Amino acid sequence: MVREAGLIRRGVLWLLLLGPLFFLSYGLSNSYTASRDDVGSLVFAWERQMPLWPWTIIPYWSIDLLYGLSFLLPLTHREMDRHALALLSAQVISVSCFVLWPLRFTFERPELTGLFGWLFDVLMGFDKPFNQAPSLHIALLVIIWTMFARHTRQPVLRWLVHGWMGLIGVSVLTTWQHHFIDVPTGALAGLACVWLWPHEGPLPWQQARLAHDPKRWRLAACYTLGALLLALLGLAFGHAALWLLWPALSLLLVALNYALLGAGGFQKGADGRLSVAALGLLGPYLLGAWINSRLWTWRRPQPDEVCDGVFLGRIPGRAEASAFAGMVDMNAELPAPPLTHYLCLPSLDLIAPDQPTLQQAAEAIEHLRQHGTVLVCCALGYSRSACAVAAWLLVSGRCADAIAAQTLIRKARPGIVLHPAHRQALQRLERRP
């Protein structure tokens, strides 16, 4: 891809805005929190064993250089602006938490000498032990890391980038700058910013529409209730139970997708992969969804041929996918293995695809058949994908009506589940001009 003109100047302008804003907001929140008498701390007992490695002040400081260099990497004005806005968002989120939920770092660092001691002295000149969770250092690292990883293609350089970025992440603990709770909360804050400002495609709120389907609202309510329950358990029991806040956030985002954002909130790309941010934020839900797909299909893991080389099944593994020339993927929540002839039409689980999506799926199935056998899949291979195959049977003229299409599919795969909403969508397709 050719780099757009004027990006260096645009990057410099962003740095001139973000740099002073960073030091001003960070310094003011430090000073304000230092004047309060209600600042607590959250420390796990095992953290007392955390070593102090003075040399890790070098990778810790290096994020400042990488922050600036990251503005040299974008190839488009949109990518540049969204990167800058993600960094700005991380700053707003972290500084707001520093003010609303102040925490203090509790370890006393011994006096250090030499180069490392001097670097610590410079750091302490403007940094105080009050800006803790979520770690702004980690949040910025996540955003910068994704930028460098996206633009580093050479394998050796990629490993160097990942290694150094990982070392920066570790350094917030080994320099005794942060307690552990600051790290995962900072990572989630950074991932949220990358999710809010994806480097390509529509922004999440640009595709936001209040759901009209009552079933979407019922599912959103169920996921919200699950998120609330996990959050309350995590806060009530504390300590290791605080990890429950991650799946709680995951379920809350799924609820938001059902109520407002739709399938696009999962950020599944045309290549079948979910964005790094979606994988991180939705990790617990995605793991549960994958396990669920395997449990429900363990008696019938293989896809079933409906007719003319079109198969119906669950989302495949890499080895399973290699048996097919093409794939039409109807699921929004699980990544798909790479395939040359692949089309993703993401639809929400338990929700019937709309008529335009079914029309597109039918045309794609017929087109991909030119390359050989085609797998039409969703998480289980029983509902969304079955509806898509039924649409193909109707549009291609292989079946005269929706009832005949369902009968043919059920003969090949008896467990399919088409609810009234699926049947209504197929009937509308059947009555098309």
Percent of the chain with pLDDT over 90: 77
Flag whether 201 is in a domain: no
The domain that holds 314 is classified in CATH as 3.90.190.10
pLDDT tens profile 202-254: 999 888 999 999 999 999 999 999 999 999 999 999 888 999 999 999 999 99
pLDDT (average), residues 333-339: 93
Residue positions counted in the chain: 433
Q: Above 80 in pLDDT, residue 1? A: no
Flag whether 254 is in a domain: yes
C-alpha–C-alpha distance, residues 145 and 174, integer Å: 20
Flag whether 142 is in a domain: yes
Do 56 and 147 sit in the same domain of this protein? yes
C-alpha–C-alpha distance, residues 415 and 314, integer Å: 12
Q: Which residues pair with 347 in a beta bridge?
A: 331
- HEC per residue, 213-257: CHHHHHHHHHHHHHHHHHHHHHHHHCHHHHHHHHHHHHHHHHHHH
Flag whether 78 is in a domain: yes
Q: Which of 259, 275, 294 is the last residue of a domain?
A: 294
pLDDT tens profile 117-171: 889 888 877 777 777 889 999 999 999 999 999 999 899 999 999 999 999 999 9
Flag whether 344 is in a domain: yes
Flag whether 98 is in a domain: yes
Do 89 and 139 sit in the same domain of this protein? yes
Q: Identify the band that residue 350 occupies on the pLDDT scale cut at 50, 70 and 90.
A: very high
Do 304 and 288 sit in the same domain of this protein? no
Do 181 and 228 sit in the same domain of this protein? no
- Integer-rounded Cα Rg, in Å, for the chain is 25
Do 24 and 134 sit in the same domain of this protein? yes
Do 315 and 392 sit in the same domain of this protein? yes
Q: Catalytic residue numbers?
A: 378
Neighbours of 431 (CB within 10 A): 9
Do 147 and 96 sit in the same domain of this protein? yes
The strand pair at 341-347 and 310-314 is best described as unpaired
* Sign of the torsion formed by the C-alpha atoms of 395, 400, 402 and 406: negative
- Give the closest residue to 85 by CA, choosing from 12, 193, 204: 193
Q: Which of 294, 313, 348 is the last residue of a domain?
A: 294
Q: Identify the band that residue 37 occupies on the pLDDT scale cut at 50, 70 and 90.
A: confident
Do 227 and 106 sit in the same domain of this protein? no
pLDDT tens profile 372-394: 999 999 999 999 999 999 999 99
Q: Identify the band that residue 100 occupies on the pLDDT scale cut at 50, 70 and 90.
A: confident
Q: Above 80 in pLDDT, residue 28? A: yes
Q: How many domains does the chain have?
A: 3
Do 86 and 181 sit in the same domain of this protein? yes
User: In the numeric block, which tokens belong to residue 49?
Assistant: 């064993």
User: In the numeric block, which tokens belong to residue 347?
Assistant: 């639809």
Do 144 and 21 sit in the same domain of this protein? yes
Do 282 and 310 sit in the same domain of this protein? no
How open is the CA angle 328-334-339, to the nearest 5 degrees? 40
C-alpha–C-alpha distance, residues 361 and 344, integer Å: 9
Residue 48, domain extent: 7-34+42-196
Q: Which residues pair with 326 in a beta bridge?
A: 341, 374
Do 323 and 346 sit in the same domain of this protein? yes
Res 432: pLDDT: 65
Q: Identify the band that residue 22 occupies on the pLDDT scale cut at 50, 70 and 90.
A: confident
Mean model confidence pLDDT for the chain: 93
C-alpha–C-alpha distance, residues 268 and 343, integer Å: 11
Q: Which of 294, 316, 340 is the last residue of a domain?
A: 294
pLDDT tens profile 386-429: 999 999 999 999 999 999 999 999 999 999 999 999 999 998 88
pTM: 0.92
Flag whether 208 is in a domain: no
Res 433: pLDDT: 59
Contacts of 76 (CB under 8 A, 6+ apart): 1, 3, 4, 7
Flag whether 364 is in a domain: yes
Per-position DSSP letters for 40-109, written without gaps between them:
B----GGGGG----GGGHHHHHHHHHHHHHGGG--SSHHHHHHHHHHHHHHHHHHHHHHHHS-B-----P
